[in-house]
Amino acid sequence: MKVTIIGGINYDLTITSLNKIIPFDSNPSKINYSPGGVGRNIAEVLGKAFYKNHKHEITMLGAVGLDFEGEFVLKETENAGVNCKNVKKDKKISTGKYITFNDVNNDMYVAANDMRIYDHISKEDILLWENILKSTEILLIDTNLNIEIINKVLSLTPKNIITIIETVSMNKILKLKGLRYDVDILKTNKNEFMYFYNLDEEHQIFEKCKNIKSFHDIIITNKEKEVLYYSDQKMDYIKTISSDVINSNGAGDSFTAGLVYGLMNNFSIIKSIEYGNVFASLSLRSEKIFPSILKIEKINEIYRRSYDED
């Protein structure tokens, strides 16, 4: 099966101070760098899950600069089994960057990002990807892209393709106010959904879902609480998997990868959501953002233990 992901490809820099932060001074710190970007993260997890499985092809589309960061991120992504050969390489702008400065307790003190490169993805670039879009079977778009580009992508996508939008953040979900095309699945979280639709209480979510026409299915995660799944005037609540948390970074992206993994295996959406929870639990237990190896046997074992034995 062919899966195409179009969206964020970033270079992430995490700085953790070794002592109490002193403003306006140079602080001794531990500095780590890694590939990032929501769309890219999802692609990496899927690439690891289907590594060397020639029945499935994961393609990443987006843009990087002609710089060290772009070269590093693409190499790491390709090493995970993702096809990156059609990613745009822009010599006029640098690769997207996300920098986090944590205090001595590993809590975020301040963060910064430079995502100007996403303004350099044009409708002409999308036309260059038209054949890829028309030959894919599942298309996932993240809201790092401008809404005009999201609409252009959807305008070229055949109706028989499963389309998914991943909302990324409270700020970036606001772009969807300009959405002009119907989408099969909206994947978001509770805070983003309530912010976008201006809701005050969680119990308002179901009534709001009943009035939404642009998305056939709506999937709303809520950290360790049950996942909300709305479709056809019905709300289901899917339990998550309790995990000893080593690292919470990447769990949301891993969930979405697990959801797509289920759809690639022709599972129902509810079963695919359950696999999303399996992938998220593996991410939470990993010191890295994602486990280095995602063995299918381990994935299925956790699924059976968590859901088949109920």
65-96 pLDDT per residue, tens: 999 999 999 999 999 999 999 999 999 999 99
4-39: per-residue pLDDT in tens? Answer: 999 999 999 989 999 999 999 999 999 989 999 999
Show the tokens assigned to 165: 């939008």
pLDDT at residue 96 in the model: 97
Using one digit for the tens of pLDDT, what is the confidence trace for 96-123? 999 999 999 888 899 999 999 999 999 9
Q: What dihedral angle (degrees, nearest 10) is formed by the CA atoms of 240, 242, 246, 252?
A: 0
Distance CA 263, CA 201 (A): 31
Domain ranges of the chain: 2-8+44-92+119-308
The structure tokens listed for 90 are 């822009």
| Reported confidence tier of residue 254, pLDDT bands at 50, 70, 90 | very high
* Beta strand pairing call for 10-17 and 29-36: antiparallel
Give the model's confidence band at 272: pLDDT under 50 very low, under 70 low, under 90 confident, else very high.
very high
- Rounded to an integer, the average pLDDT of 226-240 is 97
CATH number of 2-8+44-92+119-308: 3.40.1190.20
User: Per-residue pLDDT for 229 more than 90?
Assistant: yes
Look at residue 309 in the predicted model and tell me its pLDDT. 65
> What was the pLDDT predicted at 310?
57
pLDDT the model gives residue 106:
81
